């Protein structure tokens, strides 16, 4: 059952640079895990977190420092606790009253210990948002000796690409959690593969027909990918000849506006169809 995806915006006023605040980020959905879309420490307008403060501390609105530690430690977890202050993040603008802004949403999650295979399956299609083959705590996949569990900052930057290549836009996929697939980001560590993904709806409309995407009440359609063309020989066979179905590499992909640009025919004489991948998101 697809999760209902909300983008949550969270703003935390930092009352004092030297005070160490603890912020808890939490997924309220059952079995949902966090995906941090962005986190920024500084000041980007003069009104946020401005109550009773002197103008001099609100003037600098071009103070911004992306905080990657939030994604590194929170992605893939149902909740996480992060320490917040200039002493942790560094001070991007001394003398300015700062705040932490972050945006996150909740999604499905899979964990696979090194040497096993991750099997993702959706009723519709898989969209991978984040993945890591490495180790971020010493309790997940605890087999192996203590030394093999010690490096809990083992991150591998290529992991998302390696997983999206075999999983995106499929109903199911299998990926081996191994050095062969991902390379070895930290030798001597017993690793595991974490994947944050969604199951998205998929709509197919044959050339000449109208597509009709639907979402429930109080939700909006968010298109993540669309293609007008042909990617296989079985979808929309129609009354057309084999020759018409032959070009299965007919792509005209991107955003919905781009794909439905009627002045473009990506493959002349091929009977095409429009595919749209989308989710229904809360308003
Ligand atoms: C936070 O996550 C841990 C496991 O990662 C879980 O045991 C705990 O119950 C969660 N806490 C809340 C408040 O959801
Ligand atoms: C795991 O980490 C915690 C906190 O860093 C530490 O107290 C504990 O001893 C570690 N356990 C193992 C098996 O290394
Ligand atoms: C842990 O692994 C990372 C590679 O992802 C490496 O940069 C780091 O130095 C390692 N830390 C320790 C304590 O071995
Ligand atoms: C994993 O990703 C890296 C970087 O994109 C790439 O060099 C490597 O070939 C990929 N591995 C596989 C098995 O696709
Ligand atoms: C449609 O495609 C044509 C040719 O590529 C381009 O010139 C035009 O700007 C496009 N229109 C839109 C609305 O994208």
pLDDT tens digits for 132-166?
999 999 999 998 788 899 999 999 988 999 999 89
Class of domain 114-199: mainly beta
**Residue among 164, 169, 238 nearest 207 (CA):** 238
Question: What whole-number distance in Å separates Cα of residue 94 and Cα of residue 191?
Answer: 40
Q: Residues with beta carbon inside 6 Å of ligand 3?
A: 134, 151, 153-155, 185-186
User: How far is Cα 63 from Cα 56, in angstroms, rounded to an integer?
Assistant: 14
CB within 8 Å of 265: residues ≥ 6 apart? none
Task: Give yes or no for residue 36 CB within 6 A of ligand 2.
Answer: no
Write down the domain spans for the chain: 8-107, 114-199, 207-282
The class level of CATH for 207-282 reads mainly beta
For residue 128, what are its two tokens? 């991978």
The torsion angles phi and psi of 148, rounded to 5 degrees, stand at -75, -5
- pTM assigned to the model: 0.70
If you measure from the C-alpha of residue 187 to the centroid of ligand 3, how many angstroms do you get, rounded to a whole number? 9
In 10 A of CB 195, how many CB atoms? 29
Domain 8-107 has CATH 1.10.10.10: no
Q: For residue range 173-225, what is the model confidence (pLDDT) as tens digits?
A: 999 999 999 999 999 999 999 999 988 877 888 888 887 777 777 777 777 77
Residue 97, both tokens: 């009253």
Give the tokens for residue 251. Answer: 């792509």
> Which range is least confidently modeled, 29-38, 53-62, 159-168?
29-38
Please report which residue ranges of the chain form alpha helices under DSSP H: 69-74, 86-89, 159-167, 179-182, 242-245, 256-259
- Same fold: 8-107 with 114-199: yes
């Amino acid at each position: 059952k697809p999760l209902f995806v909300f983008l949550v915006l969270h703003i935390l006023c930092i009352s004092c640079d030297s005070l160490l605040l603890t912020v808890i980020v939490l997924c309220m959905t059952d079995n949902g895990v966090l995906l941090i879309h962005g986190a920024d420490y500084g000041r980007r307008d003069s009104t946020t977190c401005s109550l009773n403060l002197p103008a001099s501390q609100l003037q600098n609105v071009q103070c911004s420092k992306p905080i990657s530690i939030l994604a590194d430690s929170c992605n893939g977890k149902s909740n996480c606790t992060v320490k917040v202050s200039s002493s942790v993040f560094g001070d991007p603008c001394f003398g300015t009253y700062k705040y932490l802004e972050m945006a996150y949403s909740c999604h499905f999650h899979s964990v696979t210990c090194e040497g096993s295979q991750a099997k993702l399956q959706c009723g519709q299609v898989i969209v991978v948002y984040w993945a890591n083959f490495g180790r971020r705590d010493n309790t997940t996949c605890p087999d192996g000796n203590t030394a093999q569990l010690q490096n809990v900052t083992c991150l591998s930057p290529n992991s998302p690409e390696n997983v999206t290549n075999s999983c995106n836009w499929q109903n199911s996929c299998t990926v081996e959690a191994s050095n062969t697939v991902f390379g070895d980001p930290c030798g001597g560590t017993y690793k595991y593969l974490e994947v944050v993904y969604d199951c998205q709806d998929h709509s197919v409309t044959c050339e000449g027909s109208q597509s009709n995407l639907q979402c429930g009440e109080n939700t909006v359609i968010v298109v993540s990918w669309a293609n007008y063309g042909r990617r296989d020989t079985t979808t929309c066979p129609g009354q057309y000849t084999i020759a018409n179905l032959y070009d299965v590499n007919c792509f005209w992909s991107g955003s919905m506006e781009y794909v439905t640009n009627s002045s473009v025919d990506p493959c002349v004489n091929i009977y095409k169809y429009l595919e749209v991948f989308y989710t229904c998101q809360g308003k």
